[in-house]
Amino acid sequence: MATLGNPQNTIDILKKYQFRFAKKFGQNFLIDTHVLDKIVHAAEISKEDCVVEIGPGIGTLTQYLCESAGQVFAVEIDDNLIPILEDTLSAYDNVKIIHDDILKVDLNALVEEQCGGKPVKVVANLPYYITTPILMGLFEKHVPLESVTVMVQKEVAERMKAAPGTKDYGALSLAVQYYAETYLAANVPPNCFMPRPNVGSAVIRLKLHRENPVRVRNEHLMFDLIRASFNQRRKTLVNGLYNAGGFGLGKEELSALITGLGFPETVRGEMLSLEAFARLADAVSEAQNSSGFLP
Ligand code: SAM
């Protein structure tokens, strides 16, 4: 089978199967061998690895993964791509295609079944319309992960690695940084894809922390506080939390907790680090307990 990284081979396959791109599935196929090499290199794949690919498309990146990894399993939603994948991956016996929706499939069960529960490396050129639900699903469902190396919209990569006080900093930065260390592997222009997307792209590698970087008594409460703070970005932290229902506390109590952590009363959520949100969550949790509040 001809390698698909070459654009002419991609065109030939698309013609052979009279494939029509489905916009609703965020289909932008890679046609640049340098970018494909960079993704595989950034993911640090070896024959020891079990790799999960999300959205293999016609199998371009999958061919590269099959060459480098021990085992690959790839989850694709589009019915029309399944016969194409059977064709383009026919030379490999270390790949399995799972015809399913990545947001619905039980990945924990799949990893157990396909990789004996060993932590996997996720590698993908993601469908951009569901980047956040895919990544948060991987983290929150505690899929055993070693790393996640993904092509995403450039602005999303910038949000993932943003620091407190910057314009890109938000709930996504805090969530990603709670679970993983971020590393920007490459910026990728639209002409590396077919069809060309309207936005710039970037490859980001998320290496899972061995231990959470902060200690917090109630992880869920911390993420609820984070979401409430950034839902109303222009508001002060006190007002953001109070307007979100107050977490069982009055405005004065919230204000006292925030100043008690050393922040001015007028601070906005965007100034708080992950560590500061963890301390805030512990303080809110303690105040809730002493007032007998049941969440
Ligand atoms: N990996 C291929 C490449 O790099 O050329 C294709 C990447 S394309 C940006 C995204 C792929 O994800 C498409 O094949 C699309 O059909 C698939 N996809 C979209 N939504 C999906 C979902 N919910 N579950 C699984 N695959 C999905």
* Domain residue extents for the chain: 7-208, 219-291
Q: Is 21 in the pocket of ligand 1 (CB under 6 A)?
A: no
Q: What is the pLDDT of residues 239-248, one digit of tens each?
A: 999 999 989 9
Instruction: Tell me the CA–centroid distance for residue 57 and ligand 1, in Å.
Output: 5
Which residues touch 178 (CB under 8 Å, ≥6 apart)?
212, 213, 214, 274
Residue 102 CA to ligand 1 center (angstroms) comes to 9
Q: CATH classification of 7-208, choosing from 3.40.50.150, 3.50.50.60, 3.30.420.40, 3.30.70.260?
A: 3.40.50.150
Compute the average pLDDT of residues 46-50: 97
25 lines ligand 1 (CB under 6 A): yes
Is the pLDDT assigned to residue 185 strictly greater than 70? yes
52 Cα–ligand 1 center, Å? 13
pLDDT tops 80 at residue 42: yes
Q: What is the per-residue pLDDT across 189-236, written as a single tens digit (0 to 9) for each? A: 999 999 999 999 999 999 999 999 999 999 999 999 999 999 888 899
CB 55 less than 6 A from any atom of ligand 1: yes
Q: What is the pTM of this model?
A: 0.94
CA distance 150 to 161: 14
Cα of 178 to ligand 1 centre, how many Å? 26
Domain boundaries 219-291, CATH class: mainly alpha
